[in-house]
Structure 1
Amino acid sequence: MTQETSPTNTPRRRLSVRAGLLAGACAIAVVGAGVTHYSDFPVAIANAQSAQPQGGQSLGGPPSFANAVDRVKPAVVSVKVKVESAAVRGGDIANGDGEDNGLPPNLPPGLRDFFRQFGEPNGGGMPHGQMRPRGHQYSQAQGSGFFISPDGYIVTNNHVVEHGVEVQVTMDDGKTLDAKVIGTDPKTDLALLKVKQPGTYPFVKFAKAQPRVGDWVIAVGNPFGLGGTVTAGIVSARGRDIGSGPYDDYLQIDAAVNRGNSGGPTFDMNGEVVGVNTAIYSPSGGNVGIAFAIPTEVAANVVESLKDTGSVARGFIGVQIQPVTSEIADSLGLKDAKGALVAEAQPGPASDAGIKAGDVIVSVDGDKVAGPKELSRRIGSMKPGDKAEITYIRDGREQTVTLKLAALPNDKTARADAQDENAAPAGGFGLALAPASSVDGAGSQGVVVTQVDPEGPGAQQGVKQGDVILEVAGHAVSSPSEVKQALADARKGGKKAVLLRLKTGKDSRFVALAFPKKDRG
């Protein structure tokens, strides 16, 4: 992902990545509400006020998007941001540490690793380690945005305006306005601006209904600084997790979206915003029909909080969570590998209510929770002080408690351990053990892993030298002999896998290790 630069700057470095943010700033399309459903087509878009015809969509598609575009296009703006950076490498903003190959410093959480995974070394820019002199240097980031109120509030992406010292927006009629940043939310990559000049501005509304996969959508924005560009497509998928943060829940659309579309809106056929454009998947750096947008149900709540307080306060229950693998489900006696396994209950509402490590949270307010990401999003979408009914499984039985949510600390997120849910270890465990109290720095509780066979299932499941085993099959252990006894008891009980609770540094997690078939009861 690169940042757009003004024509007078050094040519923009081509970052050869397989996925990237849209604007230099880039864009994420918030898609998620009020679309006319596929079964309702054909829609007479040329006469949006007329009743929709009966029957399915004609093979030729809707006759025209023109009338819908005429209604919404005046509310869409181009966003230009003067960005101060410590160093510039090959025309792109760099963080000056000489280690990120010219990646912009204002990437949303998690996307820096995303680029490292899919990008090429140095990204085709200047040789590694070579950069322009440090100091006050500026480049111009370009993105998109849209008015959401007649008094001049504008929604865009956080990565479009982050580190900006000046912000200007250009309306569809060419008028340029100065704007200020009201608030940002890096965790969802959203930002709220307000123009400084008083007046009455054209605006659009967030849709209230979620779109279905296959619904038509229209994206309007400022790709490559061209301004006022309209593209159309459908919702390709919902609930996408691209690893950008703890609350990923993107819409995938196939409307053409490119760098500069970041922060721009995606509309349904009623002219209501269903998404905010944010990221694309691209082998070439250009559009290949896979774009990601923040759904309206996420964006609307965040924008409301930013408008009221300039920040976002999220709910917090105080648990570290991880996926329930098939091995973990078997070791806990669960029917399905679903829910969020509590690796550690930290001080907070959950532990106060009796939730502890080893419990599996399966629903919030009666709605099923498929995994850790869903639980993080559900709790994160609620406000401190809200009450939530949490259902969890312990010892094969469901229990329910009602919690009053605390405020998520600024330096924390609702953590979902990025463990491979499909991992399936086999064979011997390949671990050498010693009492934690006998190893400097390992603490006084548990059994420390002193050696790991790199070919063994322990290593395959992420067990590392220095990890401390706190529990085996739900029983606390303090010596290697207790570990062996707990394993033997699990074998005699006919378990196919044994559940270990590990501590690495300050973090705890569960790992399920499968017994060899000949050792199973």
Structure 2
Amino acid sequence: MPRSPFPLALSAAAAFLLAAAPAPAQMMKSPDAAPSRAVPQGRSEVQLSFAPVVKRAAPSVVNVYASHVEKRSGARASAMEEFMRRFFGEDGRGRGSPGSMPGERAQKSLGSGVIVDESGLVITNNHVIDNMNEVRVALADRREFEASIVLRDPRTDLAVIKIKSPAGIVPMPFGDSDHLEVGDFVMAIGNPFGVGQTVTQGIVSALARTQVGSSDYQFFIQTDAAINPGNSGGALVDLQGQLVGINTAIYSQSGGSHGIGFAVPASMVKAVVETAKNGATTVRRPWLGARVQSVTPDIAESMGLDRPTGVLVASLQSKSPAEEAGLKRGDLILSVDGQSVDDPEAFGYRFALKGISGQTKFGILRGTGRSTVAIKLGPAPETRPRDVLKVRTRSPFLGATLINTSPAVAEEMQVDFPTEGVAVQAVDDGSIANRAGLQKGDLIVAINGVPISTTKDLDRVTRNTLNSWEVSINRGGEVLTSVFGG
């Protein structure tokens, strides 16, 4: 059985995220010189305590208690309570929801968080509060506060909540995750297994880990500081008591710590927090309008490189920032604002941090010549109305939600912007669409030979009762055609 990364929140659903084993990579350094470090000079230095660092950092780490309370009323509530009494013998409360009032059903999740602003902003993992509607936080001094959810960002598995009426809170300063080095001492502070605030110590084991599977931006700090379920959203702290990462996932066979944990770097955390400070409820990221691919050893050799490095421009969208800047198919992007990139994950991470205003500069290799290209920063455009359609008529699409495509929609759904078709935005579990095999991100391009350009086209076609349906779907660039019964 292969080991898999686990998100670290304690949830009543006990649903763990599975992904492939991490692949080695190396985080690119900032062009600024890293601070000098020295080997301990004698026994007294080796015996120094981490207690002063913990005293500085621990007051900023909180426990996050999230719940989703579903209220029921009347006969439906009474019938459900009777069902729960008969089968669970728990006074109608049911398993996984202790303390629920009659007529309520609650799901609960437990994780950690870090106070990052004196206004009461707390950063945590999105999976700690996913689907939750009530949040409380408890400080290290045992004070408790109600909190509201300010921002959710599933693409980074980060979320920002805000303490209501904060008083006497201590925010943790941000450290520079770009200056971390393998071997640096770090500490993980959180609430593992719900036992209360706990501190563990270790080193940075690796940088720029990819394929961890808990977010769209695969660029994690790996540490051997023991972190376990419940540490989600907790702090990874350097020896200055500064936040260098948010603990997010573990690589484990059993769900317990095996000395391989992953944290979102502070540079990405800071970008999400700044978005929340500016009053936004969603994170908007810059749009390039180009698809990039890895450089294989064969490609590197053909381009005269001594090793695979950078990312290759595979395609460009018309009127995109990439095209307008003069990028061409086959260009090799070597750096973003002077920071080297070795693979698409590193490139995506560096570019996402640049925001949606101003410009950034790519170092590129075209043929044998190196140059710099200025890329205008801005969000992906909404080129036409979304016209979201929830199919309710009997057809292979019953239970699917469809949406008109645009660069903005393609960016949100993490698919290449198509030239035709409408996108499947969601598929209800157990629906006809689900049983037909439709998936989020599929592009419906034709039905019974009729081209589908908008959701209005699909709505018009599916209003007819047919004995069979021939559906053409673009999935990952490959067009599949299937026939379904009526």
Same fold (TM > 0.5): yes
1-side partners of 2:369 and 2:231: how far apart? 49
**8 Å CA contact 1:224, 1:259 repeated in 2:** yes
What value does the CA root-mean-square deviation take over the aligned residues?
3.7
Name the amino acid aligned to 1:373: E
Counterpart among 68, 78, 100 of residue 83 in structure 1: 68
**Structure with higher RCO (Cα < 8 A, 6+ apart):** 1
**Change over 3 Å in CA distance of 1:334–1:24 after alignment to 2:** same
How far apart are 1:147 and its partner, in Å?
1.4
Q: How many residues were matched structurally? A: 349
Q: Which residue of 1 aligns with 2:170?
A: 202
Residue in structure 2 matched with residue 504 of structure 1 by the alignment: 478
Name whichever of 61-70 and 161-170 sits farther off. 61-70
CA contact (8 A) 1:253 1:291 kept: yes
Residues 1:373 and 2:358 are matched in the alignment: no
Counterpart position of 1:265:
235
What residue identity is the alignment partner of 1:214? G
CA contact (8 A) 1:246 1:414 kept: no
Could you say if the C-alpha distance between residues 195 and 390 of structure 1 is closer, same or farther in structure 2, counting changes exceeding 3 Å?
same
Q: 1:63 Cα shift? A: 3.1
Which residue, 341, 356, 372 being the options, matches 1:384?
356
Task: Give structure 1 stretches of 5+ with no counterpart.
Answer: 1-14, 43-54, 86-134, 418-439, 444-465, 468-501, 507-521
Q: Kindly tell me: are residues 163 and 297 of structure 1, through their superposed partners in 2, closer, same or farther at Cα, counting changes over 3 Å?
A: same
- SS of 1:297's partner is helix
- Percentage of identical aligned residues: 38
Greater CA deviation, 213-222 or 321-330?
321-330
Question: Which residue of structure 1 aligns with residue 134 of structure 2?
Answer: 166
Q: CA deviation at 1:343?
A: 1.7
Give, in whole Å, the separation in 1 of the partners of 2:59 and 2:234. 13
Distance in 2 (alpha carbons) for counterparts of 1:240 and 1:58: 34
For residue 78 of structure 1, give the secondary structure of its aligned residue in structure 2: strand
Specify the code of the residue in structure 1 equivalent to 2:219.
D
- SS of structure 2 residue aligned to 1:406: coil
- 1:376 counterpart SS class: helix
TM-score if structure 2 supplies the norm length?
Answer: 0.64
Per the alignment, residue 318 of structure 1 pairs with 289
d(CA) in 1 for partners of 2:340 and 2:331?
A: 15
TM-superposed CA distance for 1:171, in Å, is 1.5
Contact 1:192 1:307 in 2 (8 A): no
Corresponding position: 1:142 with 2:127: no
Give 1:252's aligned amino acid: Q
Q: Output one character per residue of 1:268-293: Cα deviation in whole Å (capped at 9) or x when no partner.
A: 12211111110000112111111001
Indicate how the Cα distance of structure 1 residues 79 and 332 shifts in structure 2: closer, same or farther if over 3 A, else same: same
Q: Using the alignment, how far apart are the partners of 1:248 and 1:161 within structure 2?
A: 21
Q: CA deviation at 1:72?
A: 2.1
2:8 aligned partner: 22
Q: Within 5 Å, give how 1:101-116 maps onto structure 2.
A: none
**Shift in Å, 1:331:** 4.7
Matched, 1:74 2:42: no
**How far did 1:349 drift?**
0.7
Which ranges in structure 2 are unaligned for 5 or more consecutive residues? 18-26, 71-102, 381-407, 417-447, 452-472, 481-486
Matched, 1:155 2:104: no
**Partner SS, residue 257 of structure 1:** coil
Residue 178 in structure 1 maps to residue 149 in structure 2 = no
Deviation of 1:136 (Å): 8.2
Q: 1:400 to 1:204 in 2, by over 3 A?
A: closer
Question: Given the alignment, which residue of 335, 358, 373 partners 1:363?
Answer: 335
Decide whether aligned partners of structure 1 residues 399 and 65 sit closer, same or farther in structure 2, where only a CA change above 3 A counts: closer
8 Å CA contact retained: 2:157, 2:215: no
What do residues 72-100 of structure 1 show as CA deviations (whole Å, max 9, x unaligned)? 22221110110369xxxxxxxxxxxxxxx
Partner of 2:246: 276
The letter for the 1-side match of 2:5 is A
- Name the amino acid aligned to 1:317: L
Structure 2: which amino acid aligns with 1:272?
Q
Q: Shift of residue 251 of structure 1?
A: 0.8
Q: Contact 1:153–1:192 at 8 Å: present in 2 too?
A: yes
Q: Give the whole-Å Cα distance in 1 for the aligned partners of 2:247 and 2:208.
A: 15
Q: Are 1:230 and 2:199 counterparts?
A: yes
Correspondence for 1:340 among 296, 311, 317: 311
Say whether residues 1:250 and 2:220 are aligned partners: yes
Letter in 2 for 1:316: W
> Secondary structure of 1:79's match?
strand
Distance in 1 of aligned mates of 2:262 and 2:64: 19
Residue 258 of structure 2 corresponds to: 288
Conserved? CA contact 1:168–1:177, under 8 Å:
yes
TM-score (norm 1): 0.60
SS in 2 for 1:247: coil
- Aligned runs of 1:94-105 on 2, under 5 Å? none
8 Å CA contact retained: 2:122, 2:160: yes
Per the TM alignment, residue 220 of structure 1 is displaced from its structure 2 partner at its CA by: 1.2
SS of aligned partner of 1:327: helix
Q: Paired residue for 1:327?
A: 298
